[in-house]
Amino acid sequence: MRILFVAAEAAPIAKVGGMGDVVGALPKFLREMGHDVRIFLPYYGFLPDKMEIPYEPIWWGDAMFQHFAVYESVLPGTDVPLYLFGHPAFMPRRIYSGEDEDWRFTLFANGAAEFAWNYWKPEIIHCHDWHTGMIPVWMHQDPDISTVFTIHNLAYQGPWRWYLEKITWCPWYMQGHNTMAAAVQFANKVNTVSPTYAEQIKTPTYGETLEGLLSFISGKLSGIINGIDTEVYNPENDKYITQTFTTDTLDKRKANKIALQEELGLEVNSKAFFIGIVTRLVEQKGIDLILQILDRFLSYTDAQFVLLGTGDRYYETQMWQLASRFPGRMATYLLYNDALSRRIYAGTDAFLMPSRFEPCGISQMMSLRYGSVPIVRRTGGLVDTVSHHDPENAAGTGYCFDRYEPLDLFTCMIRAWEGFRFKPQWQELQKRGMSEDFSWYQSAKEYVKLYRSIYGLPEEEETPQPELVLNEAMANSKS
């Protein structure tokens, strides 16, 4: 199948959060399975610092009365063809924020549609989040191109929605004022990034006002858990960490803890319970809950804490101030740094993720892979990826709590702190987590099933000539 991924982020060149991880990894695995997958991404002003981009564009197009160029390259570290949408609106050295979010991403989506119609025609456009939400609307009457829309974060439905209706030239009943809703309504298939979250978003608590629409289209809605790139994120050979290790050489991991404590200016103490968090500092991630209990937790225990993240100014300031009250025990790094994030996954004993809601969550899977035991709230994808520690039956991979309450988080952290004192059991817990299979292969298979289901094809290829069947079925489904 020919599939064009259209998204605002793709790791390792343009990543703010988990969506970048998915778009940077999934195409690679789909290509290994024999599909022709390519990525369409904005040409951000900072990209030339990160990769080689040819000087000459391969194609010029027009969208929304604007002339744009498309440059062809390859996603670094992979064989995935990458098309970069070149327009001055994306020249600033940032991915998001700014006055023109609505306009420039609508232009980008429109550019992607033009590109698919006129230059490289895919069978499926796989759209990601609100930035690409108008594509399913524009494609829904195209007999040759189908669309899959993946919801990575329902909370972001695009800014200035009342104004967007004018830009997209779509009336309210086509959801032109809300590109997330538009995509949900018009895409051939809609999925989100975990089965639990796919169920939760049909309820008012998690539906972000779209629960009615999502319930209505539930026949085409599914949940496919994300994977992580286990080749790139591998404690066995990660060049960014001090000491590589495996489940068999877990004792070596201590060197990472000590090196991290030194790097962060914390008291070097391999016995102290060391908790880390790597996150966007936004309401979703439960930062308010942490702020309510961290002071008390640090006062009652010998624990150390490191935060790496950027986001809301209020959370940044609060975390910064808290760190100043616990010198040598708490470090706050308000920046984005992939290498440091890996050292935190590899050097801390536990990883905190008390999310208010969580579509899937990549960070907890990374922490499991690097032997940092996750402490999570049981919501969304965290339910599907972390199970509660049960020492009696030697089961579970982390510590979980249910209610979004400070006391529940506090209790859970204390239980983890207590558990850390029992070294053999703790090591078993770490090993179970590290042995979990979060590779993309299983999820990529699920995506292929999803693509095939658009054409009513069986889950597995059962005939000797699948391509012929596929072409025939696609022709029938669109006629």
Ligand X SMILES: Nc1ncnc2c1ncn2[C@@H]1O[C@H](COP(=O)(O)OP(=O)(O)O[C@H]2O[C@H](CO)[C@@H](O)[C@H](O)[C@H]2O)[C@@H](O)[C@H]1O
Binding site for ligand X (CB under 6 A): 17-19, 21-22, 152-153, 193, 226, 278-280, 308-310, 336-338, 341, 358-363, 366, 381
Report the alpha-carbon distance of residue 354 to residue 328 in Å, rounded: 24
| In the complex, least distance from residue 42 CB atom to ligand X, rounded to whole angstroms | 18
Strands 189-192 and 399-401: what pairing? Answer: unpaired
Nearest to ligand X of 360, 470 (CB atom):
360
> Is 15 assigned a ligand-binding role in the annotation?
yes
Long-range contacts of range 136-144, CB-CB < 8 Å, 24 or more positions apart?
A: 136/182, 136/183, 136/185, 136/186, 136/187, 136/188, 137/168, 137/170, 137/174, 137/175, 137/176, 137/182, 137/183, 137/185, 137/186, 138/110, 138/113, 139/113, 139/186, 140/186, 142/117, 143/478, 143/479, 144/478
The b-or-e profile of 141-168 (16+ CB within 10 A means b, else e) is eeeebbbbbbbbbbebbbbebeebbebb
Nearest to ligand X of 145, 352 (CB atom):
352
Report the alpha-carbon distance of residue 148 to residue 152 in Å, rounded: 13
Instruction: State the residue number with the nearest CB to ligand X.
Output: 17
| In the complex, least distance from residue 185 CB atom to ligand X, rounded to whole angstroms | 21
Nearest to ligand X of 255, 334 (CB atom):
334
- The first and second tokens of residue 454, run together, are 């658009």
| In the complex, least distance from residue 362 CB atom to ligand X, rounded to whole angstroms | 3
Nearest to ligand X of 22, 303 (CB atom):
22
Q: What is the DSSP letter of 89?
A: G
Is residue 393 within 8 A of residue 242, CB to CB? The reply is no
| In the complex, least distance from residue 336 CB atom to ligand X, rounded to whole angstroms | 4
Helices (H), 275-357: 287-300, 313-325, 338-347
Give residue for tokens 């979060």.
438
- The first and second tokens of residue 31, run together, are 């290509």
Backbone angles phi, psi at 456, to 5 degrees: 70, 25
Report the alpha-carbon distance of residue 306 to residue 319 in Å, rounded: 10
Nearest to ligand X of 153, 304 (CB atom):
153
Give residue for tokens 């209790």.
411
Q: What amino acid is encoded at 64 in this protein? A: M
- The first and second tokens of residue 416, run together, are 């983890």
Nearest to ligand X of 122, 311 (CB atom):
311
Q: What is the DSSP letter of 286?
A: T
Report the alpha-carbon distance of residue 74 to residue 84 in Å, rounded: 10
| In the complex, least distance from residue 281 CB atom to ligand X, rounded to whole angstroms | 8
| In the complex, least distance from residue 325 CB atom to ligand X, rounded to whole angstroms | 22
Question: Residue 417 in 3-state DSSP?
Answer: helix
Sign of the torsion angle spanned by Cα atoms 238, 241, 242, 248: negative
| In the complex, least distance from residue 209 CB atom to ligand X, rounded to whole angstroms | 18
Nearest to ligand X of 107, 264 (CB atom):
264
| In the complex, least distance from residue 215 CB atom to ligand X, rounded to whole angstroms | 21
Give residue for tokens 């590589």.
244
Write the CB contacts of 11 (distance below 8 Å, at least 6 apart in sequence).
20, 21, 23, 24, 25, 229
Q: What amino acid is encoded at 242 in this protein? A: T
Nearest to ligand X of 136, 380 (CB atom):
380
Give the containing element (helix H, strand E) for 126.
strand 124-128
| In the complex, least distance from residue 301 CB atom to ligand X, rounded to whole angstroms | 25
| In the complex, least distance from residue 105 CB atom to ligand X, rounded to whole angstroms | 17
Nearest to ligand X of 102, 358 (CB atom):
358
DSSP string, 358-394: -SS-SHHHHHHHTTPEEEEES-THHHHH--B-BGGGT
| In the complex, least distance from residue 377 CB atom to ligand X, rounded to whole angstroms | 12
Nearest to ligand X of 120, 399 (CB atom):
399
Nearest to ligand X of 120, 333 (CB atom):
333
Annotated binding site: 15
Annotated binding site for ADP-alpha-D-glucose: 15
